[in-house]
């Protein structure tokens, strides 16, 4: 599952091209985005007597496009249509979503009902029952101005959840979609005590969130530890709740919520992603990386590639190191093997092939020494090992961009050069000696070792 900006962007050819490239390497199954109810999608209007008028023309194009590209929607019900809003409060995002509660909950119920019923009529209940419906986005911060925040969000959720289930009980609904791992425990308790439908719990956190906001403490939590600490917190809250079997969907995460080129555009993302997978494994049902593409406009129209965007693909359809990291990590096996290291993931595929990821993480933008890693096989050793690399010297398109002078508007020829620089070379092939192999991993390098008995 991946995140991706807002609904209107899904209509662009550049968005769909990036989605196809990411689908190729990750087999992504779901995509989430904001603002399906934004006025630019044209869902909601009112006539002169205040009677609702619905138009699902762009909604159909949005969801048709996802399904045609082999992914299903993770539907985020947001934001408020202006004519349905209780007040004209706009978020600071460039596309100015309205973040106020509805002026009339009967009309909100009616909007959700018509929207969901239309989806079921168009795509069929067997299809739409495999989607997710998440109510709103990050209501605990500035994406919601109801007062008091929590109580008014619960009211919004209750109405939406009941309306969705009234269309068909097979449909899945959840929340609270909070920033900073907030509200999950009280949200579950609210649903349990008031018999409100809930099929999953969702929340968000970023590597550079502060411990004060996530845990109410003053400790310093490193960027590579914050996400899984927060996931673990909500995981435990669900286990000790009145509904301990609820799935946990982490519907946004990344190493940074800011535009930091030395983080999200760099080779640092390879070790960071591998270490996050290592720590979060077993604590969460689904995790949605924010985002798969820099076709993205929260801060305005993209001014140049490699500005610290969240995506795996830079503007111009240029794969970043994070794209290559996902490419390698998706070659890991199905079974995780115990290993006494915090910088190694050892796995086995169903056919018996062992696949190992190892990394050397240093602070973003910092230099550091290479790390020597030796893998020793105590039982029958494989004959050979294929070694793949993602690091500042392998598959790092940002370094190539900097080497060409960081042009604000790369030419078509330069974009072809950058896409070529993003390609990973063929694996190195090593024979094992005495049942072991030793590799050097540069700073912020990720390697994948694929071990075979025969070639």
Q: Which residues are catalytic?
A: 138, 252
Residue matched to tokens 């000696």: 433
d(CA 155, CA 83): 19
Contact 56, 98 (CB under 8 A): no
d(CA 110, CA 232): 37
Q: Which two tokens stand for residue 140?
A: 């605990």
- What lies within 8 Å, CB to CB, of 43 at 6+ separation is 36, 37, 54, 55, 56, 58, 59, 81, 111, 115
- What lies within 8 Å, CB to CB, of 332 at 6+ separation is 345, 347, 355, 357, 448
Q: Which two tokens stand for residue 315?
A: 């503007």
- Strands (DSSP E) contained in 10-122 are 30-34, 44-46, 52-54, 72-77
Residue matched to tokens 């199954």: 29
Residue ranges of alpha helices (H) inside 240-284 are 261-264, 269-280
d(CA 371, CA 360): 6
Number of CB atoms found within 10 A of residue 293's CB: 29
Q: Which two tokens stand for residue 346?
A: 């050892």
Nearest C-alpha neighbor of 203 from the set 259, 158, 140, 277:
140
Q: Which two tokens stand for residue 295?
A: 């076709």
Contact 231, 207 (CB under 8 A): no
- What is the residue-wise DSSP string for 189-219? HHHHHHT---SEEEEEEETT--HHHHTS---
Q: Which two tokens stand for residue 439?
A: 């590799």
- What lies within 8 Å, CB to CB, of 169 at 6+ separation is none
What is the Cβ-side half-sphere exposure of residue 144, based on CA atoms within 13 angstroms? Answer: 27
d(CA 241, CA 224): 28
Contact 160, 201 (CB under 8 A): no
């Amino acid at each position: 599952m991946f995140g991706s900006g807002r609904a209107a962007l899904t209509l662009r050819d550049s968005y769909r091209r990036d989605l196809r490239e990411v689908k190729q390497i990750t087999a992504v199954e779901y995509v989430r985005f904001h603002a399906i109810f934004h006025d630019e999608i044209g869902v909601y209007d009112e006539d002169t007597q205040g009677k609702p008028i619905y138009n699902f023309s762009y909604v159909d194009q949005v969801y048709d496009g996802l399904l045609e590209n082999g992914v299903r929607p993770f539907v985020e019900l947001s934001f408020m249509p202006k004519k349905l809003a209780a007040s004209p409060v706009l978020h600071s995002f460039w596309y100015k979503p309205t973040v106020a509660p509805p002026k009339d909950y009967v009309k909100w119920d009616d909007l959700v009902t018509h929207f969901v019923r239309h989806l079921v009529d168009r795509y069929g209940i067997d299809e739409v029952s495999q989607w997710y419906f998440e109510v709103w986005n990050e209501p605990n911060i500035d994406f919601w101005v109801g007062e008091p925040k929590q109580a008014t969000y619960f009211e919004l959720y209750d109405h939406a959840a009941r309306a969705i289930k009234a269309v068909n009980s097979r449909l899945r609904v959840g929340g609270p979609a909070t920033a900073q791992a907030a509200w999950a425990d009280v949200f579950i308790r609210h649903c349990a005590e008031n018999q409100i439908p809930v099929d999953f719990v969702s929340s968000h956190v970023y590597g550079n969130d502060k411990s004060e906001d996530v845990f109410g403490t003053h400790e310093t939590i490193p960027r590579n530890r914050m996400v899984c600490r927060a996931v673990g917190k909500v995981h435990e809250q669900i286990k000790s709740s009145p509904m301990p079997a609820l799935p946990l969907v982490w519907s946004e995460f990344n190493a940074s919520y800011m535009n930091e080129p030395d983080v999200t555009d760099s080779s640092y993302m390879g070790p960071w992603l591998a270490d996050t997978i290592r720590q979060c494994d077993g604590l969460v049902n689904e995790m949605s990386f924010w985002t798969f593409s820099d076709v993205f406009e929260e801060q305005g129209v993209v001014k140049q590639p490699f500005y610290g965007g969240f995506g795996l693909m830079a503007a111009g359809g240029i794969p970043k190191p994070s794209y290559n990291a996902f490419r390698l990590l998706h070659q890991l096996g199905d079974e995780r093997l115990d290993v006494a290291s915090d910088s190694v993931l050892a796995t086995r595929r169903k056919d018996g092939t062992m696949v190992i990821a190892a990394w050397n993480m240093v602070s973003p933008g910092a230099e550091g020494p290479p790390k020597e890693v030796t893998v020793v096989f105590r039982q029958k050793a494989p004959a050979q090992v294929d070694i793949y690399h993602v690091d500042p010297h392998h598959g790092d398109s940002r370094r190539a961009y900097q080497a060409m002078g960081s042009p604000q508007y790369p030419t078509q020829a330069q974009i072809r050069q950058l896409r070529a620089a993003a390609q990973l070379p063929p694996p190195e092939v090593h024979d094992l000696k005495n049942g072991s192999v030793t590799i050097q991993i540069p700073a912020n390098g990720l390697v994948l070792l694929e071990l075979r008995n025969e070639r």
